[in-house]
Structure 1
């Protein structure tokens, strides 16, 4: 089969990149070959790389089989792929799936639990990794899929799943008794999707953002107030939950100084500024944990239905908050990576790369 390619970044320097050529792998019995077709690139993908060791994200797509040394890492992406070769009953060539993909031309998977909704990758090296990342949803069996919303799904579905489960965990815990929820990096997609889910369902929502993003963040309409990081001293001193999506130590310090013992929960969610914040926070949110709880509470179908309902509500409005910046090919993927890594992507922009 035709040659393939792989984009990798330096594990100790995420701005160091390489595009490596290689042969498309041959399949063993029980495997299928996916051609990576269309992916998104956001700050979320940079987070995967920053936490590549701590959260084992580097392990999903090891560089060794692709002819790359251990100094390189493959930052995971979300997007669509097509089955181009299959030795697995029930998984037909031409099937289009959505899931966790490498920054590469192809991916070999070992499909398990194949049904109308898709399959799980049961490859040995992924067996001990968080199971939600191993699910590939067939577009023909996915209630959230619409062909005209592929760009939105590429950019927002993984973020929105995190946002949906974050909002659900907060509500599931009666908002920890707080009267105010403060979200940092409020202009980020994960933050405002969570705010969209939480708005009007309890505590007052306050978004913290940089001065340059105040106007955009206020225009979304999903926060009750939007405040510059410089103005944290103006926040009301009331029982508050801090959902930290920025990881900025100065923000945490300022909030603790302002709120004191009225800061009832300090939860690390993400890190848009590439500073690991788990140790500084009191607790860490990890979406698969709440997902497992709700899978037991509601069943898989119940969770899928609730997510789909929430996604459809969000998709109706988010298109107006987004400008898709389209690219094509591995070079465009590298350019998008470097732009997002440097923090040069405006909050309204989302990168979608056709490979």
Structure 2
């Protein structure tokens, strides 16, 4: 029998703004997350990648119920958490925790490391006599000496501060960690140490990770599956090796073309794909496929087609400009792509 997912996200949407000003003018609506669906199993890591403005951090806050969705469902351990009351959401926090990007800004500088780690234990009713023992245990788990518990955040290095944040997150023995750019503020050598720590904790504690990042090399190192976001939607998702070995969506292809290769000879031969313009605005979304104003494949396909329309300074296929593509299976098991012309994978 197939094990049910730990986390199920179905048709999730989050809109900000709307309504009217005091003078009756319409306020713009930001569609930060739009019709997102995915699953995450126990002990699995799903990497979420995309440019700034793609909706990754909004998705993280939605999963943790730090903000409420405009539509859609989030099921965690079989429960629809989008219908939970505030008290139920608070209880839910024992089972899902977050690790933030900034290892200094996310820690209270007035509290010691031990107090920071102990705070969620106290909030969720851990007996006072057990808190000190649990703090010492999780500090050892993340590679910190319990003797450091009386130090303040400014007395630690960046990597050590991130270990404190991770210790705080695992103190309540959660099932899910949402990691929002957890190593982007760290030096490269320290990044490797933290990523190895996360993999070790996942192996020992059975944690599931929703790992959000813009660095595709980092995501490749830690993920079992990867979902690529663009302007609030998932445009491609696949098992890690399938996505990195044979990306199908033109946006994914362009992102991977920017990742440096360790082999100098291959790096010199590598073809870099430069996109047209910047990521669009979530307040003025393009019609049809949201990626069409920047899509190199649409331009190549249009050159051999009769049914084209002018858009983004070029002639593009009518389908790309007028009809949003559905996230549909590609030719690999578990590989989904939202593109009208997936057969042009090598274009």
* Shared fold (TM-score, shorter chain, > 0.5): no
Pick the structure with more strand per residue: 1
Q: Which has the higher contact order (CA 8 A, sep 6+)?
A: 2
TM-score under structure 2 length normalisation: 0.29
